[in-house]
Amino acid sequence: MAQSHSLPLYVQISEMLIRDIQAGHLLAGERLPPEREMAVTLGTSVGTLRKSLADLTKKGMLERRQGSGNYVTQGGTAESVYAFFRLELLEGGGLPTAEVLSVESLRKPDDLPKFGESDMAHRIRRLRRLSGRPAALEEVWLDAAVTPVLSATDLSESLYLFYKEKLGIWIQRAEDRVGLGVVPEWGKTLFPGVGDVMCQVDRVSWDQENQSVEFSRTWFDSEGIRYTSRIK
């Protein structure tokens, strides 16, 4: 059964705004709509929205001008929960969410690249959405040396945030290889195009000790989703 462990609403709104700024939907110097109007549009309370805006102000991405409103600034730290998530809607941005389909502890298959210290790994399968739209199928292999036991109820919607807060692992870098692959059968009924050839991203991730701890494989439909990597 699919499981979703949503981030707090104010974090979701912050992440959505960060991705909109990065995609160029909100430009430096642009004034955001009035807070009450914005809260209604987002279907949230003014208090929750203000918590999100305060988070972005702290990160240097917004400036609050007394009596005038909130303005997008140039630069900022952009410490996004989804900093390593490269998929966007074709028009840019889109709030990522995830549904956990299964978590199993298995011996690493021979077709995976070498990563981690153990012969075992935790396999996490998820359906990823962007602003509610099915966007990708994801299969993540976390080295069992990191943690001996892992279940679906342990996970948060952002795996890298979960790694940091619960396992003491900071993903510092990743190598992505983008190509084509066949969408797997286990995604049947959950994602369009099962059995079709689609874009595939293979990723190896390293932690703060420069140890490779994770391998993931993601399939996405390039007709509605794009892979984006911005260089500054």
Which residue is listed with tokens 């795996």? 159
Average pLDDT over residues 73-82: 71
**CA separation for the pair 162, 146 (Å, rounded):** 12
% of the chain exceeding 70 in pLDDT: 93
Q: Tell me which of 145-149, 176-180, 220-224 is least confident.
A: 220-224
Query: CA-CA distances (angstroms) from residue 203 to 61, 145, 175, 177?
Result: 29, 19, 5, 6
Give the side-chain half-sphere CA count within 13 A for 197.
2
Res 12: pLDDT: 86
Res 2: pLDDT: 47
Q: Tell me which of 23-27, 63-67, 87-91, 133-137 is least confident.
A: 23-27
Res 78: pLDDT: 61
Residue 203 has pLDDT above 60, yes or no: yes
pLDDT tens digits for 1-30? 444 457 888 888 888 888 888 777 788 889
Res 21: pLDDT: 82
pLDDT-derived band at 231, boundaries 50, 70, 90? low
Domains of the chain, earliest start first: 9-72 (1.10.10.10), 87-227 (3.40.1410.10)
Res 76: pLDDT: 61
Average pLDDT, the chain: 88
Phi, psi angle pair for 159, to nearest 5°: -65, -40
Res 5: pLDDT: 57
Give the side-chain half-sphere CA count within 13 A for 130.
22
pLDDT tens digits for 121-162? 999 999 999 988 899 999 999 999 999 999 998 898 889 989
